[in-house]
């Protein structure tokens, strides 16, 4: 099933499992990676990032941005990236 927004437009689904696997690059526990992946999926599903940016949010893009964080595991880097969005 392809997700649709409130206007009925279709959007590619965020691949939470692949994103969670990619987070292993930053260490952390399985539980930490699951939480970050779920939060990223929720953000992608909300459509807010796509509305703001004009393009769907992808796991690859998030990982690239998280690499810019000064240090830390997945949760620290995720929080840093979210703060950078403001």
Q: How confident is the model at residue 64 (pLDDT cuts 50, 70, 90)?
A: very high
Residue 40 lies in a domain: yes
Beta-bridge mates of residue 4: 10
Q: What is the domain extent for residue 33?
A: 16-85
d(CA 30, CA 80): 20
Q: What is the pTM of this model?
A: 0.82
Average pLDDT rounded to a whole number, residues 55-65: 92
In a domain, 3, yes or no: no
pLDDT at 41 over 90: yes
Based on the structure, what is the number of domains in the chain? 1
User: Do the domain assignments include residue 53?
Assistant: yes
Task: Give dist(CA 1, CA 32) in Å, integer.
Answer: 28
Please indicate, yes or no, if residue 69 is contained in any of the structural domains: yes
**Is 4 contained in some domain?**
no
> Could you tell me if residue 25 is inside a domain?
yes
């Amino acid at each position: 099933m392809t997700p649709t927004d409130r206007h009925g437009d279709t959007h590619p689904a965020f691949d939470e499992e692949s994103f969670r696997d990619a987070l292993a690059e930053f260490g952390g526990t399985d539980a930490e990676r699951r939480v970050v992946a779920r939060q990223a999926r929720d953000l992608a599903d909300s459509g807010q990032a796509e509305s703001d940016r004009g393009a769907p949010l992808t796991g690859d893009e998030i990982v690239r941005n998280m690499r810019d964080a000064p240090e830390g595991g997945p949760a620290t880097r995720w929080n840093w990236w979210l703060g950078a969005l403001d």
